[in-house]
Structure 1
């Protein structure tokens, strides 16, 4: 008995000694004038204070410690930005210094080791890739060239809803339908065809889901490196490798298919009919960028970016917009009246008329204010010591801007928690990165390059949904009782699918 107690005591003493050593070595030393910070816990730092909904937890902490707050995620120093003035410092004043990305092990392995535009280290490679996206892939001209794809896929969505209306009286699952819409649009735009209906398409959709789940997860090894072995034990490393290899195999097949098409037809493709793989292969073959060549790995990384950055974020906006419209019948009716009037009562939406639909744009802006698709913007990292608002920020600090907090700050917005699209009707505030109280897509060099593309889908889809149908909540569900719980993850979807009852208007 005494021998067992001695062994147990020795083990506890050993663990306690290791604990103290790790704490002394890995607990970051405070900078000379660091921002306010909550007390840290040994080894964990402030990780125990984050919770299941980090954007909400960080908002509460910022109320106590201020708009610039220093945390520690394990051994990693993190600056939390929760005010428009601080966001302007990060994304405008110090944009260059803070244009680097922190490294995350899972994202690096899934996204071709930093060859994609989102996670690529700031430098010449990233600048050239950003230029390709801005000039060739996501320019206004290119976005407009995909108008027929958007209109056709939204038309199919409308017909699908009508079929369900006539075949059954049950509510439709709008969440699923909107997810299929954005996935199909992006598949056609990026890959040239849809991957959603057959068995291969089913597996592709599952792969996208698995990829997004992995990218949105929290991994202890990124914050406490000496615990990275846990990822091998719990099967995470194996799962990441499996998804990465399967996605790579799929994208290899897509690129080869397009290369064979080029070999057969040369470059006589109609530019308006070129998908994004076509465009990237043409750039590769023309070699028009001096000192820079885009290889197959880069092509696959950029295409994967289109799905990671475009699928979930785009349909999330539509899902939350329809949720709020169902909760606010007055707003829904006002929007329907605008669409009907500007479209001259015609049953089919003319996309040219969408530019005149100011209330539609206000509804989408208000949705983005309350529900930014990525509530905490993709983190940045400082590559040198800097001073922000009088505070010293050490090189290597990870910077997280809480866009969700900015959108709900009562100092910036009247009745900040209320859904009121009218606030944007007589306002010049926009989401293009110049108004730092409203940055759902980020700002500066690392702002999202796909904003135009996402908005084009959201606007035409929402206009058609409210124009073609009247909408009600399922029987027995009151507007004030609609479940608006968020899911857990990097993107904030609804936790419960949105069910609604449509009645065709045409």
Structure 2
């Protein structure tokens, strides 16, 4: 009888425990939470479910942005987590005292190797960050981009064939191939061309690459995602997980090819530079067998932003013919003879720079909240948030602040001719502060080359009506278009401006 009573009490306690836990979370959220005074939805104070659900639906950026519009410049988006669009707070959120959240440990670790993105503190990340920044300085880029023009010319030749046949081009797909060709050449001297040899969407390499950022981010944001998909997921989700996991197969194959080429061919690529720096500085010496993890990170970071931004530039100029005309006039004046084009000697072109900046303002590749555990308190609208709380801003929201960018929803490259300090501060497509992307200089260099060569050779026109849709983004961490495509029609015109 005693045992029966004990069992009954145990089952009663187990039945009540979830309810007690919910009650505790509600009491904590509204009475004890360090952000209980900050406005926000009541459910988001109690559970992370709304934020995780938005993440799973690829609407993380929209979720946070809509809450700011509804509640003001500081809002609770999850328990003990706030989001803001205040630029003074932004500088504190991303200074050296703040610590990255658990998400980055998952996103920035690969098969047991932690790479630059995955280090949570500034001091841990500093060595690899500093070496990458050195690799991508202008004096090194002049060496690294010697073959960039060759890849761009291959791309132009491919577009000429499509132009003659009247085909539309999926910018998301083809610019990705171009960017991967460029990045793999710059990073480890890979001359194999995806543009020339890959026209199949089902290729193993591209499948793995497309899976990498989506699955890696989802499993890092959503607790238990890896366990659930591995044991109960659909074939589609299991395939996504497997393809992501096998991304290092491509990286290790590339590393083997790099080793087999011999030392004489390793005088220009980033991989050689990093290994050389590690030999000089024993405090940061990465074993060569760990390099595939860094290769995967650099390949993803170095290609996604440039490829998608190039596609978005084409889409925006297709919709704004006057801006396209202005850009092409500038390019024709800078490069009168397309056959004698020398990008290394081309001075910075104001309207080209403005087009790139305006596109990245409106459609940043990392659009959503970049989370940090605060190292110092922030104050927004008189509301103080103490250290330890998770806080974030987002490139999407900062780039569309009406107070900083009048008519913020409009594509107006000319606004950058009168760039203010506030415009500079809130333009954060590469992040901001102490952990901003170390490869931003490489990406911007790629974009200048790509856009220059394309619009010196082509006009872009709207594709057929069934392909001509608005450019809307979804995201987990990196952005994707809602359809997975960005259709543009290129028309070859090498002899006239318009």
Matched residue count = 471
Residue 182 of structure 1 corresponds to: 179
Runs of 5+ unmatched residues, structure 1 = 1-9
Counterpart of 2:64 (choices 58, 72, 77) is: 58
- Distance between the aligned counterparts of 1:233 and 1:63, measured in 2? 39
For 2:371 and 2:291, the matched residues in 1 are separated by: 24
CA–CA distance in structure 1, aligned partners of residues 176 and 216 of structure 2: 18
Match of residue 152 from structure 2: 154
3-state SS of paired residue (2:488) = strand
Matches within 5 A, 1:48-197: 50=54, 52-72=58-78, 77-91=80-94, 95-103=95-103, 106-107=106-107, 111-113=110-112, 115-122=114-121, 124-135=123-134, 137-166=135-164, 168-193=165-190, 194=192, 196=194, 197=197
Of 385, 394, 397 in structure 2, the residue corresponding to residue 402 of structure 1 is 394
Equivalent residue for 1:35, pick from 27, 33, 38: 38
Q: Which stretch has the larger CA shift, 334-343 or 24-33?
A: 24-33
Deviations 1:233-254 (A, max 9, x none): 3349976874465233433343
What pairs up with 1:358-437 in 2 under 5 angstroms?
358-376=350-368, 378-382=370-374, 384=375, 386-389=377-380, 391-427=383-419, 435-437=424-426
Structure-2 residue corresponding to 1:460? 449
Return the offset for 1:372. Answer: 1.0
How far did 1:112 drift? Answer: 4.4
The answer to whether the 8 A contact 1:377-1:400 is kept is yes
Q: Is the deviation greater in 446-455 or in 252-261?
A: 252-261
Say whether 1:498 aligns with 2:486. Answer: yes
Which residue of 297, 302, 305 maps to 2:294? 302
> What TM-score do you get using the length of structure 2 for normalisation?
0.83
- Once the two structures are superposed, the pairs formed by residues 325-344 of structure 1 within 5 Å of their partners are 325-344=317-336
Greater shift in the superposed pair: 185-194 or 232-241: 232-241
Aligned to 2:460: 471
Indicate conservation of the 8 Å contact 1:373/1:440, yes or no: yes
Distance 1:25 1:54, change over 3 A: closer
Structure 1 residue 174: Cα displacement: 2.8
Corresponding residue of 1:446: 435
- Structure 1 pair 364–40 and aligned structure 2 pair: CA distance change class (3 A): same
Measure, in 2, the Cα distance between the counterparts of 1:261 and 1:458. Answer: 29
Aligned-partner SS, 2:411: coil
8 Å contact from structure 1 (residues 374, 491) kept in 2: yes
Matched, 1:24 2:27: no
Range moving further from structure 2, 419-428 or 120-129: 120-129
Q: Distance in 2 between matches of 1:22 and 1:397?
A: 21
Aligned-pair CA distance for 1:341: 1.1
Contact 2:330 2:351 in 1 (8 A): yes
Structure 1 residues 309, 57: CA separation in 2 closer, same or farther (over 3 Å shift)? same
**Aligned to 2:459, what secondary structure does the other structure show?**
strand
- 8 Å Cα contact 2:61/2:475 also seen in 1: no
Q: Which residue matches 1:6? A: none
Given candidates 269, 280, 304, the residue that maps to 1:275 is 269
Are 1:362 and 1:421, in contact at CA under 8 Å, matched by a contact in 2?
A: yes
Q: Report the alpha carbon displacement of residue 231 of structure 1 after superposing the two structures with TM.
A: 4.8
Deviates more, 1:177-186 or 1:385-394: 385-394
Q: Deviations over 1:70-121 (max 9, x none)?
A: 221xxx5322121323223323xxx121143434575255x34562111212
| TM-score normalised by L of structure 1 | 0.82
The residue matched to 1:69 in structure 2 has which SS? strand
What does 1:351-362 align with in structure 2 at a 5 Å threshold?
351-352=343-344, 354-362=346-354
The superposition leaves residues 189-229 of structure 1 with CA deviations (integer Å, 9 ceiling, x where unpaired) of 1232136336999312211111122134366743xx7x985
Contact residue 67 and residue 86 of structure 1 kept, 8 A: no
SS in 2 for 1:210: helix
1:407–1:142 distance in 2 versus 1, CA, 3 Å: same
Q: Is the 8 A contact 2:99 2:122 kept in 1?
A: no
Distance, in Å, in 1 between the alignment partners of 2:115 and 2:293 is 5
Residues 189-208 of structure 1 mapped to structure 2, 5 A cutoff: 189-193=186-190, 194=192, 196=194, 197=197, 202-208=203-209
Inter-CA distance 221–356: structure 2 relative to 1 (3 Å threshold): closer
Question: Compared with structure 1, are the counterparts of its residues 321 and 281 closer, same or farther at alpha carbon in structure 2 (3 Å cutoff)?
Answer: same
- Contact 2:215/2:241 (<8 A) preserved: no
Q: Retained in 2: the 8 A contact 1:258–1:278?
A: no
SS of corresponding position for 2:246: helix
Distance 2:59 2:201 in 1: 34
CA distance in 2, matches of 1:61, 1:415: 21
CA RMSD of aligned residues (A): 3.4
Q: Distance in 2 between matches of 1:150 and 1:89?
A: 38
Are 2:300 and 1:313 aligned? Answer: no
Deviation at 1:465, TM superposition (A): 1.4
**Superposition deviation, residue 354 in structure 1:** 4.3
